A and B are shown apart, each in its own frame.
Chain A
């Protein structure tokens, strides 16, 4: 039964990873604007024209 200690450590570590991911996503501003994403998802993806593929 004491093997549960290993399980505990594993679960808390995984949960901590999720917590860190949450903190990172808030820090990079992903939750600042709730409204835009809702509309953005409705746009069609048009094929990208040849002229605008400059990458820097």
Chain B
């Protein structure tokens, strides 16, 4: 149903780019959608910061929403402030704030020019990938609260959650990069200094030759002891668990190569294989770093503390005092405003509560609570102000207790990657060959035994398998990340490949925020529409507000004798006509059997028709479900009631499972039930109500509207607009195994050529030095080439 105010040409706000409704505001020739956007423009204009608009088109974030004035009052509290800042002395204070709205170079420009908007700020530096800004300011001239309010005014409201108060940020681990640097340095220099030996240094220059050999020996020691350390550590850990992983034969090969080469140099019998050894360490470290690339702006382990705010207003002796959440005690009275989160279980003592629990229980329609009723923590108040008497402290509330259940602890037994199994076969085969060779040479020429056996280990290193694995994982993770699908680790790729059943949550995952409103009944005249909207504008109920937004009138007619009966409807007199909006019992005085969320409307007690509010599904959903059903089982779970049953049934088909009124435990149990039947389950959800199910499933994907704010703990995070690409993502992950195998088999041919020389005891360092990089290069080309070609084919 379109708005009656349809304009032929749409005017876009100069600041944020959104379409301006009738109430557009003009400053010279620029249009703005609201006062907020216009104000930001004026502030920037005065300070000469209009380059903000030159760098990108419509870079602003829309200001067209209500903002509370005292939202950051809690930052005045010294205890809270000291926990949030990173450094303080008598003059300067350093603080790092998380701004999820950072998205372009204009944001960078504006945020690094904050000192022009506030005298107290000395400097600010943006970390673009982490979406953070580090601000240095003078404690005497400004305060943390003032800075937070300034940022909010220009559109970059900082996201400060309970998590910031409690958890220290882990330091970035850069050790792998140091190791890579050292390995690269040594590898390069050793290669350089091996040239004289390979290119035929005169045998008479014996001292010079040994100088080079000893230098190589010396340079290889840091690599042996420092750079290769992760391999020793990993193989030691796995051997302690009586398990042979892929790093064990690699550690063995590195050590054997070093020992053999050291012996050759010490006894003067040869040059050793230092360049091969340092080369493989270098390439394998590079592969590991590629594979372990972390996305610092995301966290896969966030718990409810990232969802809760830092402080809330407590009424003490008649005054509102912002109090940090951990300090809220049983018996406190909280004052909660519109759009504020309820932090603790309590009893409603004043105000009308319309609580949006969609993120927490999955119900999409707000729940109405009367004074005296118990309200649970985690929901958002969508009406006016309410007061709550705390019954349970924050950490003990019903919902937080839910996520601390033992079942949600990390599964200790992770599935084994197929690569580890492959490497074990490989190791046994190599050992077999080595044994046969040793026996053979023992019988024919005992001098050759050790040279042959050590050469076999040098050339037949399973590093090719590790390289194939890490490079393929690294490139697939990068391709998926480019498509805003971020995996927790490389192991997740294999988990996705093994999926056989997919479970969707409905609210927020398959549906978009907002509602579709359809009208059925007698046509309403323009006057009647205005009267109806005037009445709806008096109510704080979210459905009334959606109705007002739909028609978008700027002025409302006056309403007299307004009455709101909670749970039933609203009525009032507009221009002498008695208008009623509500459920069927209220408006028509007989109950109906129409399913769904319906609001009837009547004028002077004559019912004209009804509005149906239904979920707005993402456009891609029907096609997506159809594609997925071809290969996987599909189910939809929801915490909502059965209002959407017909629509969902059409989407799914008769046999597929569709469950309503699922509480968080019910979702978890359903997934367990599927797993007991032997299925590998993928769960896709977006809210805290899915947290248990996400953990229980083999692979849990958290869907997010903007991949910055809170997402429940999961194995992967997907941007909501990329949901339609799910079949392509799964196919890419399935291809991972094939690509690894293909490149590994290719590299085995190099190994076989090398083995030909090795078993004869004839492996010269130069042959090894040529074979090893060419094998690595071949692997690199095959893995990157095939994964990117496949991605292109899948349109990723």
A40-B112, A54-B122, A56-B122 given; A26·B129 CB < 8 A: no
Chain A neighbourhood of B655, CB < 8 A: none
Q: Is the CB of A8 within 8 A of B211?
A: yes
Chain B neighbourhood of A23, CB < 8 A: 178, 181-182
**B53-90 vs A: 1/0 string, CB under 8 Å?**
00100000000000000000000000000000000000
A1-18 with Cβ < 8 A to chain B: 1-2, 4-5, 8, 12, 15-16, 18
Q: Is the CB of A39 within 8 A of B128?
A: yes
Q: How far, in Å, is A3 (CB) from chain B's closest CB?
A: 11
- B215 sits at the interface (CB 8 A): yes
Q: Which of A18, A26, A44, A54 contacts B177 (CB 8 A)?
A: A26
Q: How far, in Å, is B499 (CB) from chain A's closest CB?
A: 32
Given A5-B208, A26-B181, 19 new contacts (CB under 8 A): A2-B207, A5-B211, A12-B189, A12-B215, A15-B189, A19-B181, A23-B182, A26-B177, A27-B174, A32-B296, A33-B130, A35-B128, A35-B129, A36-B126, A36-B127, A39-B109, A40-B108, A42-B55, A56-B122
| Pairs across A and B, CB under 8 Å, 30 listed | A1-B205, A1-B208, A2-B207, A5-B208, A5-B211, A8-B211, A15-B185, A15-B189, A19-B182, A19-B185, A22-B181, A23-B178, A23-B181, A26-B174, A26-B178, A26-B181, A27-B174, A29-B172, A32-B127, A33-B130, A34-B129, A35-B129, A36-B128, A36-B129, A39-B108, A39-B128, A40-B108, A40-B112, A43-B51, A54-B138
Q: How many residues in A have their beta carbons less than 8 Å from beta carbons of B? A: 32
Query: B192: nearest residue on chain A (CB-CB)?
Result: A11
B519-573 with Cβ < 8 A to chain A: none
Q: How far, in Å, is B289 (CB) from chain A's closest CB?
A: 12
Chain B neighbourhood of A18, CB < 8 A: 185
Q: Is the CB of A52 within 8 A of B119?
A: yes
Chain A neighbourhood of B119, CB < 8 A: 51-52
Chain B neighbourhood of A44, CB < 8 A: 51
A1 to B111, CA, bound (A): 60
Q: How many residues in B have their beta carbons less than 8 Å from beta carbons of A? A: 35
Q: How far, in Å, is A48 (CB) from chain B's closest CB?
A: 10
Chain B neighbourhood of A40, CB < 8 A: 108, 112
A52-B119, A54-B122, A56-B91 given; A33·B211 CB < 8 A: no
Identify the interface centre among B92, B108, B109: most chain A CB within 10 Å of its CB: B108
- B105 sits at the interface (CB 8 A): yes
Chain A neighbourhood of B205, CB < 8 A: 1
Q: How far, in Å, is B115 (CB) from chain A's closest CB?
A: 6
A19 to B51, CA, bound (A): 40
Chain B neighbourhood of A2, CB < 8 A: 207-208
Chain B neighbourhood of A52, CB < 8 A: 115-116, 119
B92-123 with Cβ < 8 A to chain A: 92, 104-105, 108-109, 112, 115-116, 119, 122
B110-150 with Cβ < 8 A to chain A: 112, 115-116, 119, 122, 126-130, 138
**B256-275 vs A: 1/0 string, CB under 8 Å?**
00000000000000000000
Q: How far, in Å, is B222 (CB) from chain A's closest CB?
A: 10
Q: Is the CB of B108 within 8 A of A46?
A: no
A39 to B119, CA, bound (A): 25
A13 to B130, CA, bound (A): 37
Q: Is the CB of A31 within 8 A of B51?
A: no
Query: B181: nearest residue on chain A (CB-CB)?
Result: A22
- B48 sits at the interface (CB 8 A): yes
Q: How far, in Å, is B176 (CB) from chain A's closest CB?
A: 10
Q: Which of A4, A5, A33, A46 contacts B129 (CB 8 A)?
A: A33
Q: Is the CB of A36 within 8 A of B177?
A: no
A27 to B128, CA, bound (A): 19
Query: B130: nearest residue on chain A (CB-CB)?
Result: A33
A14 to B211, CA, bound (A): 19
A27 to B177, CA, bound (A): 10
Q: How far, in Å, is B754 (CB) from chain A's closest CB?
A: 30
Query: B105: nearest residue on chain A (CB-CB)?
Result: A39
Query: A51: nearest residue on chain B (CB-CB)?
Result: B119
Q: Which residues of B contact A (CB under 8 A)?
A: 48, 51, 55, 91-92, 104-105, 108-109, 112, 115-116, 119, 122, 126-130, 138, 172, 174, 177-178, 181-182, 185, 189, 193, 205, 207-208, 211, 215, 296
- A interface secondary structure, majority: helix
Q: Which residues of A contact B (CB under 8 A)?
A: 1-2, 4-5, 8, 12, 15-16, 18-19, 22-23, 26-27, 29, 31-36, 39-40, 42-44, 46, 49, 51-52, 54, 56
A31 to B178, CA, bound (A): 12
Chain B neighbourhood of A26, CB < 8 A: 174, 177-178, 181
A17 to B127, CA, bound (A): 29
Chain A neighbourhood of B189, CB < 8 A: 12, 15
A17 to B92, CA, bound (A): 35
Q: Is the CB of A43 within 8 A of B109?
A: yes
The 3 tightest CB contacts between A and B, nearest first, are A39-B105, A35-B128, A36-B128
Chain B neighbourhood of A27, CB < 8 A: 174, 178
Query: B51: nearest residue on chain A (CB-CB)?
Result: A44
A52 to B138, CA, bound (A): 12
Q: Is the CB of A56 within 8 A of B108?
A: no
A26 to B138, CA, bound (A): 29
Q: How far, in Å, is A24 (CB) from chain B's closest CB?
A: 10
Query: A5: nearest residue on chain B (CB-CB)?
Result: B211
Chain B neighbourhood of A49, CB < 8 A: 116
A44 to B55, CA, bound (A): 11
Chain A neighbourhood of B122, CB < 8 A: 54, 56
A16 to B193, CA, bound (A): 15
Q: Which of B48, B126, B177, B296 contacts A31 (CB 8 A)?
A: B177
Q: How far, in Å, is B245 (CB) from chain A's closest CB?
A: 28
Q: Is the CB of B174 within 8 A of A33?
A: no
A5-B211, A39-B108, A52-B116 given; A32·B172 CB < 8 A: yes
Chain B neighbourhood of A16, CB < 8 A: 185
A1-B205, A29-B172 given; A42·B181 CB < 8 A: no
Chain B neighbourhood of A51, CB < 8 A: 119
Chain A neighbourhood of B130, CB < 8 A: 33
A39 to B54, CA, bound (A): 13
Q: Is the CB of A46 within 8 A of B178?
A: no
A29 to B51, CA, bound (A): 29
Chain A neighbourhood of B193, CB < 8 A: 8
A29 to B130, CA, bound (A): 13
Q: How far, in Å, is B196 (CB) from chain A's closest CB?
A: 9
Chain B neighbourhood of A15, CB < 8 A: 185, 189
A8 to B181, CA, bound (A): 20
Chain A neighbourhood of B296, CB < 8 A: 32
Q: How far, in Å, is A5 (CB) from chain B's closest CB?
A: 6
Q: How far, in Å, is B519 (CB) from chain A's closest CB?
A: 48
Query: A34: nearest residue on chain B (CB-CB)?
Result: B129
Chain B neighbourhood of A39, CB < 8 A: 104-105, 108-109, 128
Query: B219: nearest residue on chain A (CB-CB)?
Result: A12
Query: B115: nearest residue on chain A (CB-CB)?
Result: A52
A35 to B131, CA, bound (A): 10
Query: B106: nearest residue on chain A (CB-CB)?
Result: A39
Q: How far, in Å, is B57 (CB) from chain A's closest CB?
A: 15
A18 to B172, CA, bound (A): 23
Chain A neighbourhood of B51, CB < 8 A: 43-44
A16 to B215, CA, bound (A): 14
Query: B92: nearest residue on chain A (CB-CB)?
Result: A56
A8 to B212, CA, bound (A): 9
A26 to B177, CA, bound (A): 8
Q: How far, in Å, is A10 (CB) from chain B's closest CB?
A: 13
Q: How far, in Å, is A43 (CB) from chain B's closest CB?
A: 6
A19 to B189, CA, bound (A): 12
Query: B90: nearest residue on chain A (CB-CB)?
Result: A56
